[in-house]
Amino acid sequence: MMEYEVEERSNTLIIRLTGDIDLQTSPNVRQGLMGSIDKGRPIIVDLSGVDYIDSSGVASLVESLQTMRKKGKQFILVSVSEKAMRVFQLARLDKVFTICSDLDEGLKIVKGE
């Protein structure tokens, strides 16, 4: 089961995902992300509660990143677990996404610090 929680802080949407992001849950993740993107604010996705992500989950994040870039808004991943980071590294997506060690670091990037 995937949990999706949105918090607003400093004109930034913080999306906390908890659970596995796989073929079964990625459509809900995608739908939630696209709904948040429509709000036109920078987005930080907190993946600290995600241990497993498969290619469908990664695809949802890539699609969100591309949409945000077209809108000129930031899309940052924070607190990525070791297992999930391996997936991003294998796909060389650790060079495509802005990935921060924690939420505070992500918020500093959004603020331009």
pLDDT in tens, 45-96: 999 999 899 999 999 999 999 999 999 999 999 999 999 999 999 999 999 9
Q: Which two tokens stand for residue 59?
A: 């695809």
Q: How many CB atoms lie within 10 A of CB 46?
A: 22
**Cβ partners under 8 Å of residue 27, min gap 6:** none
CATH superfamily of 3-106: STAS domain (3.30.750.24)
Per-domain residue ranges for the chain?
3-106
Amino acid at 37: I
* Length of the chain measured in residues: 113
If we measure between CA atoms, which residue out of 34, 35, 48 comes closest to residue 3? 48
Could you report the per-residue pLDDT of 12-41, keeping only the tens digit for each? 999 999 999 999 999 999 999 999 999 999
Would you place residue 10 in the very low, low, confident or very high pLDDT band (cuts 50, 70, 90)? confident
- The model carries a pTM of 0.95
Give the 3-state secondary structure of residue 42: coil
Opening angle at CA 50, ends 25 and 105, nearest 5: 125
97 CB neighbour count, 10 Å cutoff: 17
Query: Which residues contact residue 86 at a Cβ distance below 8 angstroms, ignoring those fewer than 6 apart?
Result: none
